[in-house]
A and B are shown apart, each in its own frame.
Chain A
Amino acid sequence: MEGMSCNNLWVSYGAFHALSDVSLSFRPGRITSIIGPNGAGKTTLVNALTGSVAPSRGDVKIGKRTVNRFGPAKRTKMGLGRSFQTINVFSEMSVRENLELAAQARAFRLQPFWRPAQGLRVLAELADKILEMVGLTAHADQTADALSHGDQRALELGLTLIGEPDIVLLDEPLAGVGHNGIDRMDALIRTVAEGRTVILVEHNMDVVMGLSDDIVVLAGGQVLATGTPDEIRANETVRAAYLGGE
């Protein structure tokens, strides 16, 4: 199992610094949450870690390997999976087709172009496993855009997991999920975290405090504090800047 880190990371747009000198280490096998007010640089950090945004300065590492020059596809092959803040699935395809398509990244080298994709056992087996894990077996043949928001979130997670990544980056997995769906997602994230390094960006403080081993607080593109949930709760600076005092 691998961890991930960034050292002296800067992402600048002209004179504006979305991230300034951020150095973090996401330790293997732990859930590290990134919190911070809107505009703190959380999504920019996620994008820099996954390769969607090129850093202006600094390094991003998967394990001991610097991956600055690698795009998202290469980083995914290296074991980094990502879910998105907004639902990002193949909306016109069925749930099964979504997962089978994602499974192709793992299942093939030379693709059997002469055979229909539908019904290929190796894809169906991988899809079935994930369907069961995220609780979508009953909706397998439903079109993705016909799913409830919570189920779409589960599918989003399924697409991230089917490549069996070592490191999972979850960008606001609870965004838009109702009260009833939160427990389900909470349980799902715990399942996902078993044997993996998880980087979680989330606004729901109850979930963050309950799930995380470590917490990073960002503000204005800089690291304000790092620590365990208890340390963060007790941190006066964080309370003043983010949690609202008391």
Chain B
Amino acid sequence: MADAPKSFQDIILRLQAYWAAQGCAVLQPYDMEVGAGTFHPATTLRSLGAAPWAAAYVQPSRRPTDGRYGDNPNRLQHYYQYQVIIKPSPPDLQDLYLGSLKAIGIDAARHDIRFVEDDWESPTLGAWGLGWEVWCDGMEVSQFTYFQQVGGHDCAPVSGELTYGLERLAMYVLGVDHVMDMPFNDPGAPIPLRYGDIFRQTEEEYSRWNFDTADTEMLLHHFMDAEAECLRILAHPAEDPKTGRRIVMAHPAYDQCIKASHLFNLLDARGVISVTERQAYIGRVRTLAKLCADAFVQTEAGGWAA
């Protein structure tokens, strides 16, 4: 194929161009540590309320327990997701999605592409939806979900969400067996960089910190601080005494919810959370997520009208 992608970034750029051409706002990553692209407020919060929405973005994601010191061919504690969210879900979303695969060199005439049942649920976000994992030649390349509920609220209209695990997808397209060997930029560039040139060392550093070094006592404090701040923010009345305007602080509160969620993941990686406590922590984050969703639907973007 003449125009097969040559590098990791080529695949990202093609996805950006493709979804831009489909009319999505191409957003930038959210500037906080999150476990998955779904946590970006452009997905979680914007899937609530009736306002139409279409966005696509790369989201760096962190899963501390998946760290393998850069040794494992496809497990990373820091990786990239590509996320598309469209509300209401268009009737041809499956075709649009297949078009995006074609744009990165996966042609349905040569490959076996299948939609295999996989219902999505995020206990931390109080969210669930129905859909599939999409298989290409037996490999899961994306998650495809019709959101039914987020933060305990029914989604109406329903958003269609697509999540691509970029490293895995790119490794397949580029025919690479170890993620660290994957060309990040054009291998013909004056300074060719592989994924490992950029991330092997950080995977090592973070693996050590995540598993053995992070100060659990401090993380626990941070968790409780974030939880308290989230609740405190949301306890404020809608009317701002200074400007006299109605300002519901849904996003600042949600930032604290994201923080709490990531701190929980770090504590989990340090192995200091028992099986029973685990459920309790997840429940605490979910409570925050629900309160933030409640707050967001009280904002203009969330459909509130005076």
A and B physically associate: no
Give B contacts to A, CB under 8 Å. Answer: none
Chain A residues within CB distance 8 Å of chain B: none
